[in-house]
Structure 1
Amino acid sequence: MSATEPLAEGAAPPQGAVRLTIEGAVARVIFDRPHARNAMTFAMYEDLAAACGRIAADPHVRVAVFRGAGGKAFVAGTDIEQFRAFSSGADGVAYEQKVDSYVGALEALPVPSIAVVEGWAVGGGMALANACDFRVATPGARFGVPIARTLGNCLSVASLRRLTDAFGPGIVKRMLLLAETPTAEEMPAGYVTVTADVDAAVEEMCSRLAAHAPVTLRATKEAMRRLSLDPQASDHDIVEEVYGSADFHHGVEAFLAKRAPTWTGT
């Protein structure tokens, strides 16, 4: 099932699907496997990669929203049944590399991304929610990577780097070593917006983001991504692209003329 082929409500196949719809400036991605709390199969990861590719290639998209179907989980990790096929440590290395690439594709989207968390965002779900720029959660939603008391596997250095960048080593150790799954209310300030009306909060955020300069958002995201990998990362190409853009010159003229700019993303 392609990520670009939306499924009818309740029609998710047993292996699940990732559904993408684009409405105006907003792309909406649904992890659709509610009977398994949206645990990701390898087919779903491939669908996610395809969805990210389409979002990145569409110049009309200004923001992307990611959400789990069913209202009980964002994503409850990777489907454990698939690990039965692993026969050696090399299978684990290949798996972690693939997961890193899928999470990296979400992290590298040129538009802001929002994770809507209802219920659980654990394991791979924690990685996907963390890769988004913003998180909006219902009260009591839980985050974590409790693999020390469940599967007995480990995370790649790339996955640990992303979590440590977000929380610092102290909280990551509590998540990994103590296998704690803190609620949304217990997460660090600014990490997640907690509200009983996630739909209203997400729509308000989408409206704000869609109204801002796409070149600024794109440049900021890419610069932050590079900085997380290398404190001395080069930014000349980013700065040159932004200051050479039509939107920057239009923004200057609009500001001086005291009128609202009309961004084109170019």
Structure 2
Amino acid sequence: MSYDNILLNKEDKVSTIIINRPESLNALNAQTIKEISSALEELNSDISCRVVVITGSGEKSFVAGADIKEFSDFGQEKAEELARNGHNTLFNKIENMTKPVIAAVNGFALGGGLELAMACHIRYASENAKLGLPEVTLGLIPGYGGTQRLPKLVGKGIANEMIFSAKMITAQKAKEIGLVNEVFPIEELLIKTKELANVIAHNSPMAISKAIRAVNLSDTDKGFEAEIKYFGEVFELDDKKEGVTAFIEKRKPNF
């Protein structure tokens, strides 16, 4: 499939989605959301792809936010539809992918851009990255999961401070509060992200898929039962047999 607003690169077991709207600092509009969603569906069904990396084009911006011009005249009904469609089309889809999705945050990650990064399973950032949820300065609130995912990552107090003040934070501050995993110079960001992706790609894809589901339920009362269920299920899978056999035979597993 061809895309207008994103680039899709497939390299061995790691695929990279590059949001490519540099003229608007890679802002998310409806078409871009749809294209990222389509690329994720393509990659989720591609058995050669083990890990997905999402980043922005250039060195200034991961995603500078949503394209406000698209919804500036919406009323309540259309606004609720916009948010619901965003969750269903993209943000929840990322979180529930059967393959790990890593955000390589290269610059501004604001509003919908930070919400996109937070939907990913892991976040690496460049030293020049600035992250924030500025919606209240427009008389809005985060609508693509910001009020839900941010408190889970950094705690309610810090989440409230970021949302209520609308202040941007540095990449280093984001690491200190647990919003991003690691921070690198901009020229090393994608290299380091792909290094991690390649480590993950050599582990059991079947086990990782089950682990994603269990982790996603970790803040609910279903988390422990989900872990027990998926722990049992992997014992019937070929990857478990290969992994245990390789361990006993003192060799690397071939997943």
Q: Check whether TM > 0.5.
A: yes
Partner of 1:225: 216
**Distance of 2:146 and 2:214 partners within structure 1:** 19
**AA at the equivalent of 2:233:** E
- The 5-angstrom pairing of residues 89-108 of structure 1 reads 89-101=76-88, 102-108=90-96
**Distance of 1:199 and 1:83 partners within structure 2:** 32
Partner of 1:205: 196
Are 2:43 and 1:72 equivalent residues in the alignment? no
**AA at the equivalent of 1:5:** S
- The 5-angstrom pairing of residues 21-100 of structure 1 reads 21-86=9-74, 88-100=75-87
Provide structure 2 residue ranges, at least 5 long, that are not aligned to the other structure. none
Partner of 2:181: 192
Deviation at 1:237, TM superposition (A): 4.9
Deviation at 1:232, TM superposition (A): 2.2
**Distance of 2:39 and 2:57 partners within structure 1:** 16
Counterpart secondary structure, 2:252: coil
**AA at the equivalent of 1:194:** V
Counterpart secondary structure, 1:259: coil
Deviation at 1:59, TM superposition (A): 1.6
Deviation at 1:121, TM superposition (A): 0.4
How many residues are treated as equivalent by the alignment?
Answer: 248
Deviation at 1:239, TM superposition (A): 3.0
1:240–1:220 distance in 2 versus 1, CA, 3 Å: same
So what's the TM-score if we normalise by structure 2? 0.91
Structure number with the higher helix fraction is 2
Provide structure 1 residue ranges, at least 5 long, that are not aligned to the other structure. 7-11
Share of identical aligned residues, percent? Answer: 28
Deviation at 1:226, TM superposition (A): 2.5
Per-residue deviation, residues 153-204 of structure 1 (Å, max 9, x unmatched)? 1134954221111111111111110111111100144533111111321221
Cα RMSD, aligned residues only: 1.8
**Distance of 1:184 and 1:113 partners within structure 2:** 19
